[in-house]
Amino acid sequence: MCGIVGYTGTENPIPILIDGLKRLEYRGYDSAGLALMNKSGEIKVFKTKGKVADLEKLIENKEWDAVAGIAHTRWATHGAPNTINAHPHVSGSGDLVLVHNGIIENYSILKEALIQKGYHFKSETDTEVLVNFIEDVKKESGKNLFESVQLALKRVVGAYAIVVMDKNFPGQMVVARKGSPLVVGIGKDGDYIIASDAAPIVSHTKTVYYLDEDELALLEPGKEMMVKTLDNKLVTPSLTELDLTIEQLEKEGFEHFMLKEIYEQPRSVYDSMRGRINAEKKQIKLGGIESYENHILESDRIIMVGCGTSWHAGLVGEYLFEELARIPVETEYGSEFRYRNPIIKPRDVVIGISQSGETADTLAALRLAKEKGALLLGICNVVGSSIARETHAGVYTHAGPEIGVASTKAFTAQVTVLTLMALRLGYLKGTIPQERYENLLQELENVPDKIEQVLQKDLIIQQVAREYKNAKNFLYLGRGINFPVALEGALKLKEISYIHAEGYPAAEMKHGPIALIDENMPVVVIATKKGNYDKIVSNIMEIKARDGKIIAIVTEGDQQVAGLADHVIEIPESDEMLTPLLATIPLQLLAYHIAVMLGRDVDKPRNLAKSVTVE
Ligand code: M6R
């Protein structure tokens, strides 16, 4: 939800900022802009509606001896996605310039007060209000930039990550965060690069500081960073070394990040298990939650909280935990949970699932559960993210950076971690027969190879995509643990192809959706051998009787469904509890190929952003 980058130091900021914006573009792509400052304090701002490529064209051949710069790629919240509303925003006097990720909730009250004082606004944004508010506080208090930002933010309600420059102090930057992420990269030559995540930073330095909630930092090239809290407490920053490579952030020959990430799944699933599972020794070790295992086993229930794909992973987790560990589980949307006064007791365990670790609704739901005394666990992909830091304990997914807006490898990594957790708890609780436990461990270790085999079905999936790319609607059906997989398949298709798609438990079809079925309705059915196979065969018959087109995901060698379906995509046999890890792959590929054939911008689908840091 908006990406911000800043650079101050001895290098030319322009390529650093543009490259940084490109790496953050997944966070929003409604408009892009940058502001440069030279050593005399002159400021130049360039901004445009559209993508970073448009900004790049705008600044082509515009050489300037800038010493610092800030840049922004926007996902519009307040005001239309046009050039005027694009960041950076400059204060009325022209002294301050600022980029912002987040939402200032009390902006209209602040704006009204500023208008009364004679301030004028060009844009509809909350950000232009913020920069003028800081300017006003600075004028009235006579304080320096750092102190003025600190004072102003104390009166701001909402979420923000900001970078501010003041023309009176060329090269100096003040950064602050609350609710939106911000990372400060500390260069060897005393320069600083700031960004919403580590991706723009890693090619410059691996030493970073993840700014904490309610912290501000003063950055001046050649000088040590000063970090304080909003309440003016001095913080000794604990620096982190990034475990990230440039290669992980490149497409490496794939046409899109999404395709690369789909193909990375044998590796990312393996990495999510590496060092945690040992089938030979019949052991699972989850270091992150080890000291909480008894607490979890004694809990009354587990609540999974997430949004979008992560919510689907939570639903899969619900089946896994209930089946294997016999612990009652409820799965909740972060957005619903936080606003419905949920009943949470200290003997509840709440698991927050999030690729980014920054999703506002998931984070708020977790904070609420924490206030009510629940134990919080996190399943996050981004190391050092807010959810990872605010939970009591957790297990990282180790999927590597996911850049495509549509979540793919993060989902299978989340399901892998949930499977490990359910198995470990079931083992400790004695709710899984030893033989099944050992088989599941063995089978889980085989999953990466089996995903590899599913990926080899890509040509068949492309043919199916070609045949149905012009369909107006799709239905996805699954039963049991594959019901959430149907939901996930439908979400993948709609978000990147813009074709309407719905996922349903197969048996629910009779209660309404069957009315939609005719010869124009492709129905994707997950019909693997073990889970309720006969029941799903009956559902397929019902679709066929109404001329629906059946695309079935079946277990290798299946004859019965193959005889009924219009198309079959085979996946290797596995324990039913592990089929989501395999059945998801063809659905990701189907969505991908349809979207590409329709000419969609697969990695940056319209209206979406990768990291939803606003509610
Ligand atoms: O970073 P998170 O996992 O918390 O993100 C949650 C959703 O915003 C995300 O899964 C979204 O639904 C994706 N676009 C799905 O592909």
Beta bridge partners of 177: 161, 215
Ligand 1 geometric centre to CA of 266 (Å): 21
531 pLDDT tier (thresholds 50, 70, 90) = low
Ligand 1 geometric centre to CA of 608 (Å): 10
SS3 content of the chain, % helix, strand, coil (to 5): 40, 25, 35
**pLDDT at residue 1 greater than cutoff 90:** no
Rounded Cα gap, residues 592 and 6, in angstroms: 34
* Nearest CA owner, ligand 1 atom 14: 406
Name which residue leads in pLDDT, 74 or 154.
154
Label residues 92-112 b or e (16+ Cβ within 10 Å = b): beebbbbbbbbbbeebeebbe
Ligand 1 geometric centre to CA of 355 (Å): 7
How many C-beta neighbours within 10 Å does residue 117 have? 10
* Nearest CA owner, ligand 1 atom 9: 308
**pLDDT at residue 287 greater than cutoff 70:** yes
Rounded Cα gap, residues 412 and 419, in angstroms: 10
Specify the fold of 3-245: Glutamine Phosphoribosylpyrophosphate, subunit 1, domain 1 (3.60.20)
Rounded Cα gap, residues 533 and 596, in angstroms: 33
Domain ranges in the chain are: 3-245, 251-454, 456-605
pLDDT for position 452: 97
Beta bridge partners of 377: 351, 393
Q: Where are the beta strands (DSSP E) in 232-372?
A: 234-235, 240-241, 277-278, 283-284, 301-306, 329-333, 348-354
* Nearest CA owner, ligand 1 atom 11: 308
**pLDDT at residue 283 greater than cutoff 70:** yes
Q: Which of 304, 355, 383 to mutate to test the pocket of ligand 1 (most atoms within 8 A of CB)?
A: 355
pLDDT for position 588: 98
Average pLDDT estimate for 539-547: 91
517 pLDDT tier (thresholds 50, 70, 90) = very high
Q: What is the model's pTM?
A: 0.84
Ligand 1, residues at Cβ distance < 6 Å: 307-310, 354-356, 359, 362, 405-407, 491, 495, 608, 611-612
**pLDDT, tens digit, for every residue of 391-429?**
999 999 999 999 999 999 999 999 999 999 999 999 999
Position in ligand 1 atom list of the atom nearest CA 405: 14
Average pLDDT estimate for 536-557: 93
Average pLDDT estimate for 87-103: 95
The DSSP symbol for 7 reads: E
* Nearest CA owner, ligand 1 atom 7: 308
Specify the fold of 251-454: Rossmann fold (3.40.50)
Return the active site residues: 2, 610
**pLDDT at residue 230 greater than cutoff 90:** yes
CATH of 456-605, one of 3.40.50.10490, 3.40.50.2300, 3.40.50.360, 3.30.1490.20: 3.40.50.10490
Cβ(103)–Cβ(159) below 8 Å? yes
Rounded Cα gap, residues 547 and 545, in angstroms: 6
Token representation of residue 141: 């208090």
pLDDT for position 244: 82
**pLDDT at residue 252 greater than cutoff 90:** no
Token representation of residue 348: 């509840």
- Ranges 55-64, 314-323, 376-385, 557-566: which has the least confidence: 55-64
**pLDDT at residue 614 greater than cutoff 90:** no
Average pLDDT estimate for 284-292: 96
**Structure-token match 């699932």, residue found:** 353
Ligand 1 geometric centre to CA of 503 (Å): 17
* Nearest CA owner, ligand 1 atom 12: 308
Round the average pLDDT of the chain to a whole number and report it.
94
**pLDDT, tens digit, for every residue of 459-513?**
999 999 999 999 999 999 999 999 999 999 999 999 999 999 999 999 898 898 8
Position in ligand 1 atom list of the atom nearest CA 407: 16
Q: Which of 261, 310, 592 to mutate to test the pocket of ligand 1 (most atoms within 8 A of CB)?
A: 310
228 pLDDT tier (thresholds 50, 70, 90) = very high
**pLDDT at residue 77 greater than cutoff 80:** no
Is-same-fold flag (3-245; 251-454)?
Answer: no
Ligand 1 geometric centre to CA of 612 (Å): 8
pLDDT for position 21: 95
Longest Cα separation, the chain: 80
The DSSP symbol for 274 reads: T
Q: Which of 359, 496, 606, 608 to mutate to test the pocket of ligand 1 (most atoms within 8 A of CB)?
A: 359
Ligand 1 geometric centre to CA of 18 (Å): 25
3-state per-residue secondary structure call for 25-81:
HHHCCCEEEEEEEECCCCEEEEEEECCHHHHHHHCCCCCCCEEEEEEEEECCCCCCC
20 pLDDT tier (thresholds 50, 70, 90) = very high
**pLDDT, tens digit, for every residue of 29-65?**
888 999 999 999 999 999 999 889 999 999 887 778 8
Ligand 1 geometric centre to CA of 308 (Å): 5
pLDDT for position 143: 96
Position in ligand 1 atom list of the atom nearest CA 611: 1
Percent of the chain having pLDDT more than 90?
A: 85
